[in-house]
Structure 1
């Protein structure tokens, strides 16, 4: 499962998306577990990129 977006990860939109992601992941896990196909829900992983000629650390996080 993934969330795609743009902007500061501390903004409410991102936080709400992550808050929705984990209950969904654990719901799927519980369904699979009842069918004998248990698995571990992995840790949250973030992939970040910028669309700029500037070095990534010089671009404001909101961009």
Structure 2
């Protein structure tokens, strides 16, 4: 859980900014978006393999110009 301690005289905007930053660091929003709709395990596995393939292609291209 993201928590922010507010100092005396601190504005709401700055406290809210700190809260948003702590949520982003904790990965709360990405987790919520990921869990918004159910994803079948087969679909999850397929996405994972596609991402791995993309990383491999990108890595092989990176070494091509060197």
TM-score interval (norm. to shorter): 0.3 to 0.5
Give 1 or 2: higher helix fraction: 2
TM-score (normalizing by structure 2) = 0.40
For the pair shown, the structure with the greater C-alpha radius of gyration is 2
Structure with larger RCO (C-alpha < 8 A, sep 6+): 1
TM-score (normalizing by structure 1) = 0.41
